[in-house]
Amino acid sequence: MDQPWWKRCVAYQIYPRSFCDSNGDGVGDLRGITSKLDYLASLGIGMVWLCPVYASPNDDNGYDISDYEAIQPDFGTLEDWIALRDGLHARGIRLVMDLVANHSSDEHAWFVESRTAKDSGKRDWYIWRPPAADGGPPNDWQSVFGGPAWEYDAATGEYYLHLFSKKQPDLNWESTAFRTELFAMMRRWVALGIDGFRMDVINLIAKPDGLGAGDNEGGMDRALNGPRMRDYLAEMRREVFAGTDLVTIGETPGMPLELAREITDERAPLLDMQFHFEHVDLDHAPGASKWDSTPMTMPALRATLSRWQDGMEPHGWNSLYLGNHDQPRAVSRYGDDGRYRRESATLLMTLLLTLKGTPFIYQGDEIGMANVAFDSITDYRDIETLNAWLWLTGTRGLDAASALAMIRKKSRDNARTPMQWSAAPNAGFSAAAPWIAPNPDYTGHNVAAAEADPDSVLHYTRRLIALRQGTPALRSGRYRLLDAEHPALWLYERTSEMGRCVVALNFSDTTQPLPPALAELPCLLTNHHNPAADTLAAWEARNLGPA
């Protein structure tokens, strides 16, 4: 059976603020992206996920939307967006937009109206509750970005819920009028020719029953995967996506594997695929904050991703990622961004592109972009990072150097420094000083240098995408782990009735013997110059046939 288009292609994620600035104001924009269409096409990708480009006061860089149908002026106009859409489509690349519908901006007209009076027509489009008996917040939920998840609003003497910043009030999916308007808005984007939505924290939309004063049991995790989530997603599918071939991609932190499999079951899907968070949560201890890093080990990563590979069989579907705009850079986190930067970046790209699911390459990972180490907190921009700084140096009482060390490891800004196009000033990203400073390593690590070097991560990524696209077993074959115990090698195969492929990854900086049965297989692609048949060099990644 033919697979749907979104199972067959490789996706590329664009964070527009940091991709390319066409008009010299230091902020990436739509025309900047359009100017790089041939570069995107040259990768061999089939889908772009565009992070939010809608009107926003930018408290959370566009994830706080004040008008779902207007383009953020910093990014351009609707005409610019149409030119981008057409340019992608002309190159056979689909365009997936971000849908941020768990919350809006507090500057959205809906919220402005909602907060005016308890009997406002849109009061119940958001989640308002009276104060607790002591006048404090209704319960003790803490927001993801730090501090209470409730904000008092003097105009009506009630609190509103915000799971993220206080400028991101949560929308109330229990309101039929809200859902009707939301779905109508989505249909208007569908009519504009988009190819799908990536849905921000979509498993937070169904809040638990009886939310309000004094229900402190269980904390905010109770907002995850709420009972009515299935109903809302089913209704959305009917109202917006029926009869289309658009893709729906959920961002679903804290969604258990069994539920993810059920929700993406191709026989009756509520979403076509989802991003889980288990592998990006491996480097902090359970219960500890994300800033309290513990080492990321290959065996833990292997166990987690293998569990999701097996667990989504036979009818579910994974979105695959090692980095995105919310995570540190993959090469710095799972690889070695020092001596083995090229080798480990290409190894990680091999992993991403040879697992079962739809791989998402985050902008810059195809040239091995690494974490930044800014000297001062004043160089950071992300609201989560800046709040964490206050918490680490305040409540936690850490000195500045210790707090900065923690932030350098985990800040979302690691992924948000400008795309490194060349060694020109500002990394070739902009004619002006960018909104966030580039990583100073851009002089050596950039697209222009990578184009000129046949061994670069970029050229290897292109070869790998071509291999995946030309090898049915890599696109749709079942995953099977070949050795669950090896301390350094991750060995797996992908098999379908169309063939078999073996992937051998050396997650260490020492040479490792390859099991004899694998040493006999022909090599389809390696990231190493002189591969030895029976060993894998430091951070070597080898794709073995027969295909």
Q: Under the rule (CB under 6 A), what is the footprint of ligand GLC?
A: 60, 63, 100, 164, 200-201, 251, 325-326
Of 272 and 382, CB closest to ligand GLC: 382
Looking at beta carbons only, is 261 or 412 nearer to ligand GLC? 412
376-386 exposure pattern, b = at least 16 Cβ within 10 A, e = fewer: ebeebbbbbbb
Please indicate whether residue 181 is annotated as part of the active site: no
Please tell me the number of Cα atoms within 13 Å of 422 on its side-chain side: 8
- The least CB distance from residue 472 to ligand GLC, in Å, is 32
Give the CA distances from residue 370 to residues 337, 344, 446, 506, in Å, rounded to whole numbers and listed in that order: 7, 11, 11, 20
Considering the complex, what minimum distance in angstroms separates the CB of residue 282 from ligand GLC?
Answer: 18
3-class SS string, 58-102: CCCCCCCCCEEEEECHHHCCHHHHHHHHHHHHHCCCEEEEEECCC
Residue number of the CB atom closest to ligand GLC: 63
Residue 237 CB: number of other CB atoms within 10 A?
A: 17
Minimum Å gap between C-beta 27 and ligand GLC is: 17
- Helix, strand, coil fractions of the chain, as percent rounded to 5: 35, 15, 50
- DSSP assigned state of 173: T
By DSSP bridging, strand 11-14 and strand 47-50 are parallel
Q: How far is the CB of 15 from ligand GLC (least distance, A)?
A: 9
Min separation Cβ 18 and ligand GLC, Å: 13
DSSP-assigned letter for residue 163: S
Q: How many distinct helices (H) and strands (E) make up the chain?
A: 17, 20
The residue written with tokens 């004094």 in the block is 214
Q: Could you tell me which of 438, 413, 415 has the C-alpha nearest to residue 426? A: 438
Minimal distance, residue 300 CB to ligand GLC, in Å: 22
Q: Could you say which of 151, 195, 200, 366 is catalytic?
A: 200
Minimum CB distance to ligand GLC, residue 196 (Å): 16
Q: Closer to ligand GLC at the Cβ: 60 or 343? A: 60
DSSP 170: B
Smallest gap from residue 328 Cβ to ligand GLC (A): 14
* Active-site pick, 21, 251, 384, 441: 251
CA distance 37 to 57: 28
Closest by CA position to 444, among listed 337, 541, 540, 361: 337
CB neighbours (10 Å) of residue 288?
Answer: 10
Output 343 or 413, the one with its CB closest to ligand GLC. Answer: 413
Q: Which is nearer to ligand GLC, 326 or 336 (CB)?
A: 326
Nearer to ligand GLC, 145 or 421 (CB): 145
**What type of residue is 477?**
G
Which CB, 122 or 325, lies closer to ligand GLC?
325
Rounded to a whole number of angstroms, the minimum distance from the CB of residue 40 to ligand GLC is 21
Q: Is 251 a catalytic residue?
A: yes
Angstrom distance (rounded) from CA 517 to CA 268:
40
DSSP state of 303: H
The answer to whether 488 and 298 are in contact (CB under 8 A) is: yes
Nearer to ligand GLC by Cβ, of 201 and 271: the residue is 201
Using CB atoms within 10 A of its CB, is residue 191 exposed (0-12), middle (13-18) or buried (19+)?
exposed
Phi, psi of 422 (to 5 degrees): -160, 180
The rounded distance, in Å, linking the Cα atoms of 532 and 213 is 66
Residue number with CB closer to ligand GLC (94 or 325)? 325
* Catalytic machinery residues: 200, 251
